[in-house]
């Protein structure tokens, strides 16, 4: 068997494994995906909203927080204006909440500064363009156990309009669903900035957010895990966020995520396959590393096959043209199915089963529109990911990380 | 610690089962293709033996039936040619089984035998069809691959144009078949693709339909 065939089979095996793995977790916990028992006694909660040039959305975010059903006497809202050049500060002030104004130094530093003055026993972090549902805080707080360092929410897209936003909405649904599945294994590896709640003492114990990392929400999670804190996920606590609506902005956001992921993986490389670091060493860092390898291998295989065929067929077309022969036979394309065709079909079928249960579970109905967006997501959107990763590796390697 | 560790190995076992089923299915599929080729070959071998007997009869006992011998030979040529294409297509799609080397050698031998028979019939019956032997490589290099595919397509066009008047016999240069090696040396064929028209004229490289038509016309 050729080397490429072996790599190809390995790639399919690993992809198939993870699809089956997630489906098995789902079947075991399908009845308790959204379960949460609200605590009668609630702790004090400080809501930190770091903002940079968010004048158009900041009031909506503050309003959503103030409209929550969390007891007002236990709730503190603190907006951190990270040196905005627009009217973010004024807009936040108009809402009657505390606003900390500072020079621009990044989100992680803004949060660290706010952490020093926040009075709550727990800290909720919300992006200034995200809108939590009214019962989110209560549900998330109720999910904390003694060992829990952080609980994250179900991040969804707010009113998606164009195709790019709709594809991101599809992605966010899949991500939240998969994150909940990982929660059953105690393997949540990120607490997204859109809405996550942290135990203040845990944040203080680990020294707060890493100001050097481009995705402080991934880094803080790994740091908590390394320090033996557990991370939870509450699927019924929803927060709606505004995704990038232009391709350029979207690409930049994903580059930042990938670079942050790489930074985190390298920072915690010492935990790889080390059982003493708990889930971080035995599952999360290897899983993270493997998904990078899978992504790049997939792109490598696809590019090799595609370019090889493209080169061959274009050379053939040129040769036929030169020799005045216009009969371009289908025979040259070799459309006879082979074993890989069946494996791809199997993988695609398992993916469809996965999508079906995810949609059913998240109460999303299948219709023509959804199907079209789903197909675009699976065929176009996912295919972009390895290219973003390569771009991110390039940027990370050459140190050009200005945002 | 990771909770519910059993899911990891249960998923692994389940995946392994699915994967092994897939691989087994692949082996079965590829095996059945190889089997169908071999069955077809056996059938062709019998047909060939039958055709040879018929030819002997026509040529030795009843020389007035040359037309039937030629027709038989031409029909057989098309079947062998199409089976060869099928074999090539199946081989390209086979990912698990080893290559079909022996089967290809057997086909090549059959085609050599057929070629010699075509020469004989042409001589005995004094017919004017063209014997065009196409020498190619079974394992071509990248550049040769494009040239060979181009020449193959051109030859298929030529065959469609000439129909029964053209006996197209593709022979592999690199399958280590003595008879082909002898012909290769006799006609000084050093590269693929090469063409041999009516056992006399050797052409190396790519020749388009117009050029081949002109050569065939001049040669004929």
Pairing status of strand B166-172 against strand B130-136: parallel
What is the distance between the alpha carbons of residues A94 and A372, in angstroms, rounded to a whole number? Answer: 43
Q: What is the mean pLDDT of residues A76-83?
A: 97
- Residue B19 touches partner A, C-beta closer than 8 Å: yes
Could you give the 3-state DSSP secondary structure of residue A118?
coil
What is the distance between the alpha carbons of residues A110 and A140, in angstroms, rounded to a whole number? Answer: 23
The confidence band for A226, taking pLDDT boundaries of 50, 70 and 90, is very high
The confidence band for B59, taking pLDDT boundaries of 50, 70 and 90, is low
Among the residue ranges A38-47, A220-229, A323-332, B107-116, the one predicted with the least confidence is: A323-332
pLDDT at A328 over 70: no
Q: What is the mean pLDDT of residues B169-191?
A: 87
| List of chain A residues whose C-beta atoms are within 8 Å of the C-beta of residue B12 | 17
Residue of B nearest to A321 (CA): B150
Contact flag B29-A342 (C-beta cutoff 8 Å): yes
- Residue B21 touches partner A, C-beta closer than 8 Å: no
Average pLDDT, chain A: 90
pLDDT at B63 over 70: no
ipTM above 0.95, yes or no: no
pLDDT at B95 over 70: no
Contact B135, B46 (CB under 8 A): no
**pLDDT value, residue B24:** 85
Percentage with pLDDT > 70 across chain A: 95
Among the residue ranges A47-51, A104-108, B31-35, B181-185, the one predicted with the least confidence is: B31-35
**pLDDT value, residue A113:** 96
| List of chain A residues whose C-beta atoms are within 8 Å of the C-beta of residue B153 | 320, 325, 327-329, 332
Terminal-to-terminal C-alpha distance of chain A: 47
- Residue A353 touches partner B, C-beta closer than 8 Å: no
Contact A114, A50 (CB under 8 A): yes
Contact B152, A323 (CB under 8 A): no
The confidence band for A148, taking pLDDT boundaries of 50, 70 and 90, is very high
Among the residue ranges A217-231, A310-324, A329-343, A350-364, the one predicted with the least confidence is: A329-343
Average pLDDT, chain B: 81
Go through B16-36 and write b for each residue having 16 or more CB atoms within 10 A of its CB, e for each that does not.
eebbeebbeebeebbeebbee
CA distance B127 to chain A (A): 29
Contact B147, A312 (CB under 8 A): no
What is the distance between the alpha carbons of residues A366 and A357, in angstroms, rounded to a whole number? Answer: 11
- Residue A340 touches partner B, C-beta closer than 8 Å: yes
**pLDDT value, residue A152:** 98
Contact flag B154-A325 (C-beta cutoff 8 Å): yes
Q: Higher pLDDT residue, A301 or A360?
A: A360
Name the residue with tokens 């509450």: A234
The confidence band for A331, taking pLDDT boundaries of 50, 70 and 90, is low
What is the distance between the alpha carbons of residues B83 and A85, in angstroms, rounded to a whole number? Answer: 75
A169-216 tens-digit pLDDT: 999 999 999 999 999 999 999 999 999 999 999 999 999 999 999 999
CA distance A5 to chain B (A): 7
What is the distance between the alpha carbons of residues A358 and A26, in angstroms, rounded to a whole number? Answer: 9
The confidence band for B73, taking pLDDT boundaries of 50, 70 and 90, is confident
CA distance B189 to chain A (A): 22
Of A222, A219, A390, the closest CA to residue A295 belongs to A390
**pLDDT value, residue A207:** 96
Residue of B nearest to A337 (CA): B93
| List of chain A residues whose C-beta atoms are within 8 Å of the C-beta of residue B90 | 336
Contact B164, B118 (CB under 8 A): no
pLDDT at A376 over 70: yes
| List of chain A residues whose C-beta atoms are within 8 Å of the C-beta of residue B96 | 1, 5, 339
Go through B156-187 and write b for each residue having 16 or more CB atoms within 10 A of its CB, e for each that does not.
bbbbeebeeebbbbbbbbebebeebeebbeeb
**pLDDT value, residue A204:** 97
**pLDDT value, residue B71:** 77
**pLDDT value, residue B134:** 92
pLDDT at B82 over 80: no
Closest residue to B1, CB basis, from A12, A279, A315: A279
What is the distance between the alpha carbons of residues B199 and A88, in angstroms, rounded to a whole number? Answer: 89
A237-249 tens-digit pLDDT: 999 999 999 999 9
- Measured on CA atoms in the order A183, A189, A192, A196, is the torsion positive or negative? positive
pLDDT at A41 over 80: yes
Looking at residue A196, the DSSP 8-state letter turns out to be: E
| List of chain B residues whose C-beta atoms are within 8 Å of the C-beta of residue A329 | 153, 156
Among the residue ranges A171-175, A210-214, A326-330, A359-363, the one predicted with the least confidence is: A326-330
Contact flag A25-B206 (C-beta cutoff 8 Å): no
What is the distance between the alpha carbons of residues B77 and B84, in angstroms, rounded to a whole number? Answer: 11
């Amino acid at each position: 068997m050729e080397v490429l065939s072996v790599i190809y089979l390995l790639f399919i095996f690993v992809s198939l494994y993870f699809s089956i793995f997630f489906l098995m977790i789902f079947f075991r916990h399908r009845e308790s995906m959204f379960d949460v028992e609200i605590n009668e006694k609630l702790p004090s909660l400080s809501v930190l909203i770091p903002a940079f040039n968010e004048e158009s959305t900041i009031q909506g975010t503050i309003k959503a927080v103030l409209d929550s059903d969390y007891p007002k006497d236990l709730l503190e809202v603190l907006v951190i204006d990270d040196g905005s050049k627009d009217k973010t500060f004024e807009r936040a002030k108009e809402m009657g909440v505390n606003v900390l104004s500072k020079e621009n130094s990044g989100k992680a530093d803004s949060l660290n500064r706010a952490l020093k003055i926040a009075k709550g026993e727990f800290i909720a972090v919300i992006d200034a363009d995200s809108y939590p549902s009214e019962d989110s805080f209560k549900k998330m707080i109720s999910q904390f156990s003694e060992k829990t360092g952080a609980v994250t929410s179900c991040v969804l897209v707010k009113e998606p309009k164009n195709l790019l936003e709709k594809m991101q909405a599809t992605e966010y649904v899949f991500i939240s669903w998969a994150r909940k599945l990982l929660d059953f294994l105690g393997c949540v590896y990120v607490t997204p900035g859109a809405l996550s709640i942290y135990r203040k003492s845990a944040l203080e114990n680990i020294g707060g957010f890493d100001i050097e990392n481009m995705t402080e929400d991934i880094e803080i999670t790994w740091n908590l895990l390394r320090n033996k804190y557990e991370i939870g996920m509450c699927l019924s606590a929803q927060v709606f966020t505004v995704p990038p609506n232009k391709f350029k902005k979207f690409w930049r956001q994903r580059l930042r995520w990938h670079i942050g992921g790489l930074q985190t993986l390298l920072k915690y490389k010492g935990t790889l396959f080390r059982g003493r670091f708990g889930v971080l060493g035995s599952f999360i860092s290897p899983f993270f590393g493997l998904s990078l390898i899978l992504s790049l291998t997939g792109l490598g295989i696809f590019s090799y096959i595609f370019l090889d065929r493209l080169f061959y067929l274009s050379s053939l077309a040129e040769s036929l043209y030169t020799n005045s022969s216009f009969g371009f036979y289908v025979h040259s394309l070799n459309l006879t199915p082979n074993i890989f065709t069946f494996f791809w079909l199997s993988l695609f079928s398992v993916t469809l089963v996965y999508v079906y249960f995810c949609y059913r579970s998240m109460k999303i109905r299948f219709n023509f529109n959804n199907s079209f967006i789903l197909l675009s997501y699976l065929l176009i959107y996912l295919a972009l990911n390895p290219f973003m990763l390569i771009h991110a590796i390039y940027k990370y390697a050459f140190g050009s990380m200005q945002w | 610690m990771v909770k519910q560790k059993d899911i990891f190995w249960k998923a692994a076992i389940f995946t392994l089962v699915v994967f092994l089923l897939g691989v087994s299915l692949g082996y079965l599929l590829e095996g059945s293709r190889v089997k169908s080729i071999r069955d077809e070959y056996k059938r062709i071998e019998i047909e060939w033996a039958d055709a040879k007997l018929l030819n002997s009869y026509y040529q030795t006992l009843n020389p007035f039936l040359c037309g039937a011998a030629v027709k038989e030979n031409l029909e057989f040529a098309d079947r062998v040619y199409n089976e060869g294409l099928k074999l090539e297509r199946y081989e390209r799609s086979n990912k698990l089984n080893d290559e079909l080397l022996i089967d290809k050698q057997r086909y090549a031998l059959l085609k050599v035998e057929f070629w010699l028979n075509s020469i004989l019939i042409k001589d005995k019956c004094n017919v004017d069809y063209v014997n065009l032997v196409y020498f190619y490589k079974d394992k071509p290099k990248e550049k040769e691959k494009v040239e060979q595919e181009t020449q193959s397509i051109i030859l298929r066009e030529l065959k469609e144009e000439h129909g029964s008047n053209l006996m197209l016999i593709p022979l592999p240069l690199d399958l280590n078949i003595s008879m082909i090696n002898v012909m290769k040396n006799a006609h000084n064929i050093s590269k693929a693709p090469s063409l041999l028209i009516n056992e006399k004229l050797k052409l190396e490289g790519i020749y388009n339909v117009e050029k081949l038509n002109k050569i065939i016309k001049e040669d004929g």
